[in-house]
Amino acid sequence: MKTKRSMKLRTCEECESEINKGDQYGQRSKRVGGIEIKRGFSVMVPFYIKVDICAACAAEGIQQ
């Protein structure tokens, strides 16, 4: 995974460690389920959001 330099303080979505300003971090998309009501029926609507992960977790992602 390509990492980039963080311009602000972030939290890793995987291990919840802090990604400090100036640290390398990666981003990956995470599937989030949402429920939408359509014609009286509730349907699962998956959508993706971008989450921040630390360099260590980004490196692990490459091995998988």
- Whole-angstrom distance, CA of residue 26 vs CA of residue 20: 13
CB of 25 to Zn ion, least distance (A): 9
Cα-Cα-Cα-Cα torsion 49, 52, 55, 56, nearest 10 degrees, comes to -80
In this chain, which stretch among 2-10, 11-19, 21-29, 35-43 interacts with Zn ion, using CB under 5 A? 11-19
The reply to whether 58 sits near Zn ion by the rule CB under 5 A is no
Tell the residue number behind the tokens 């630390």, with chain if given. 54
Under rule CB under 5 A, residue 15 binds Zn ion: yes
**In angstroms, what is the minimal distance from the CB of 60 to Zn ion?**
8
